[in-house]
């Protein structure tokens, strides 16, 4: 007997109690055994479920988290969304998903929309925010957590992997492999993750007295990375190793090296990526890469945003989680290292 719209008043009438009694039963406030039983029975009979929007109006808590995401080509983000969604659902929250091109106006518009829906918190994945916008969110008491992207200033929380350290680990690995001419196709230098990985990488090389033979910004895009690979391999000092700023670009680079240039990986060139997306383990690429510990990053993100919702005085935090280098077959394996 599912009727068009069932409200708590209908349930109250059928159960012979007041509307507030129904509300108390469903919001977990105290009520007598008999009332609970009557209400539950009536609700079941009518197929009643409390209206979340009305509930949100009155409590000021929508239990909705806004998730802003730029593009989903890079397999890392679908994987992250999948886990974020599951983790939030488990804790009684829901996701309002927004696509935003990574421009100031685009993000502005999207955040405005989210605020209009009274989201309790916002998670941005691979999207930068103007500090103006972040201040407005802070003024409204809406916590913002940036996933896989950091930002200077202290208005917001950010969860990333330990990108400098990660870049350094890759440098160490390539140095240990006795590579002579090391190149770098960088993650987008407009993003903190891209810059940090590059910095850590270059700094550790410098400690060993090595300078990259080339560094090109791959913009986190397949075609830019492919083009960068062509450019790099066309130059005089042809590299024997390339560190690519993420796996998504690394696949494009390997496609160019093997497909277009007929080179062997790692015979002629070693390739190392960053992320360890599922595809990196597939035999077709078998990519050596620095793993971003996605599960722990997601946990930290959820903990941070929900923690800040529950305790508004909590300060924003920037969390970096270190990940291991996953040694596979796309780069020469130094003596003493194992897969």
Partner DNA sequence: CCCAATGTTGCACACGTATGCAAGTCACAA
Partner DNA sequence: TTGTGACTTGCATACGTGTGCAACATTGGG
Q: Which residues bind a second copy (CB under 8 A)?
A: 2-5, 47, 49-54, 56-57, 62, 64, 67, 71-73, 75, 77-79, 81-82, 85-86, 89, 94-99, 112-113, 115-118, 136, 139-141, 251-252, 254-255, 258-260, 278-279, 282-285
- Site for DNA (CB under 7 A): which residue of 45, 51, 264, 295? 51
With CB cut-offs between 5 and 8 Å by kind, which of DNA, a second copy, none does residue 79 bind?
a second copy
CB 220 within 8 A of CB 246: yes
Q: State the number of binding residues for DNA (CB under 7 A).
A: 29
Q: Can you name the residues that pair with 216 across neighbouring β-strands?
A: 185
CB of 66 vs a second copy, minimal distance in Å: 9
What's the min distance (Å) between Cβ of 53 and DNA?
A: 8
Distance separating alpha carbons of residues 208 and 182, to the nearest angstrom: 12
Per partner kind, with CB cut-offs from 5 to 8 A, the member of DNA, a second copy, none near residue 27 is: DNA
Question: Residue 24 burial (CB < 10 Å; 0-12/13-18/19+)?
Answer: middle
Task: Extract the tokens encoding 21.
Answer: 């009694």
> 30 touches which of DNA, a second copy, none (CB within 5 to 8 A by kind)?
DNA
Cα distances (angstroms) measured from residue 146 to each of 67, 125, 154, 185, 302: 10, 6, 12, 24, 11
Judged by CB under 7 A, the residue of 13, 40, 50, 79 near DNA is 50
Cis peptide bond upstream of 33, omega within 30: no
Out of DNA, a second copy, none, what residue 264 binds, judged by CB under 5 to 8 A for its kind, is none
R_g (Cα) of the chain, nearest Å: 25
Structure tokens at 117: 């829906």
Nearest distance from C-beta of residue 46 to DNA, angstroms: 11
20 binds, among DNA, a second copy, none (CB under 5 to 8 A by kind): DNA
Nearer to DNA, 61 or 223 (CB): 61
> How far apart are alpha carbons 109 and 21 in whole angstroms?
41
Q: Which is nearer to a second copy, 113 or 317 (CB)?
A: 113
**Strands (DSSP E) found in the chain:** 64-69, 94-99, 121-125, 144-147, 157-161, 182-186, 214-217, 241-244, 270-275, 288-291, 318-321, 325-326
Closest distance to a second copy from the beta carbon of 297 (Å): 16
Closer residue to DNA in complex, CB, 52/103:
52
Interface contacts to DNA, rule CB under 7 A:
5, 7-9, 16-21, 23-24, 26-27, 29-35, 48, 50-51, 54-55, 57-59
């Amino acid at each position: 007997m599912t009727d068009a719209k069932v409200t708590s008043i209908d349930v109250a009438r059928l159960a012979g109690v007041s509307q507030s009694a129904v509300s108390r039963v469903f919001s977990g406030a105290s009520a007598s055994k008999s009332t609970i039983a009557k209400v539950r029975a009536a609700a079941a009979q009518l197929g009643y479920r409390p209206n979340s929007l009305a509930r949100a109006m009155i409590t000021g808590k929508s239990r909705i988290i806004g998730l802003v995401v730029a593009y989903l080509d890079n397999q890392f983000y679908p994987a992250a969304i999948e886990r974020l969604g599951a983790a939030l659902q488990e804790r009684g929250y829901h996701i309002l998903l927004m696509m935003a091109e990574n421009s100031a106006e685009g993000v502005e518009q999207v955040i405005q929309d989210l605020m209009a829906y009274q989201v309790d918190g916002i998670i941005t994945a691979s999207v930068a925010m103007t500090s103006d916008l972040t201040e407005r969110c802070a003024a409204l008491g809406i916590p913002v957590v940036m996933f896989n992207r950091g930002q200077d200033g202290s208005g917001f929380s950010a969860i990333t992997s330990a990108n400098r350290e990660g870049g350094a680990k890759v440098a160490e690995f390539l140095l240990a492999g006795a590579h002579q001419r090391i190149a770098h196709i960088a993650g987008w230098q407009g993003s903190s993750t891209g810059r940090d990985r590059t910095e850590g990488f270059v700094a550790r090389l410098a400690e060993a007295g090595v300078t990259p033979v080339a560094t090109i910004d791959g913009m986190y895009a397949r075609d830019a990375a492919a083009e960068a690979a062509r450019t790099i391999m066309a130059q005089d000092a042809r590299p024997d190793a390339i560190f690519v700023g993420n796996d998504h670009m690394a696949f494009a680079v390997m496609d160019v090296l093997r497909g277009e240039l007929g080179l062997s990986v790692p015979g002629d060139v070693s390739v190392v990526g960053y992320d360890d997306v599922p595809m990196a383990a597939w035999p077709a690429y078998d990519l050596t890469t620095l793993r971003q510990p996605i599960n722990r990053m997601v946990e930290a993100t959820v903990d941070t945003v929900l923690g800040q919702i529950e305790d508004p005085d909590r300060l924003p935090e920037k969390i970096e989680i270190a990940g291991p280098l996953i040694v596979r077959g796309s780069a020469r394996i130094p003596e003493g290292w194992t897969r």
